[in-house]
Amino acid sequence: MVTQVEREQKMTWQEIRDESIGMLKETYDAVTSGIIEKEIQAARYKICEGCSEFRTSLKQCKICNCFMPAKTLFNKSKCPKDYWYK
């Protein structure tokens, strides 16, 4: 498995810039989409806790590196493995 650092070392600065801009736009869209109901947020987080890609100590996803208690709050947030239904 290639780590994030190894992947970035192989990328040009333009590719890193473009990826960063895409991530910022995705984050902006999610955060400005509004907050979901507590029940849906709790269900999403429970799915995360059962996932093999979840870092329990950091409460972070290994794929997207997001802090999941925050990411699960927003309407347009998406699971990188498409495990969330709503």
Domain boundaries, the chain: 4-71
The secondary structure element, H or E, covering residue 78 is: none
Backbone angles phi, psi at 55, to 5 degrees: -90, 105
Angle at 15 between CA 10 and CA 16, to 5 degrees: 80
The pLDDT tens digits along the chain (86 residues) read 777 777 777 888 888 899 899 889 988 998 899 999 999 999 999 999 999 999 999 999 999 989 999 999 999 999 999 999 86
Instruction: Give pLDDT, residue 3.
Output: 79
- Listed in order, strand segments (DSSP E) in 11-58 are 54-55
Provide the whole-model pTM: 0.74
Instruction: Give pLDDT, residue 86.
Output: 62
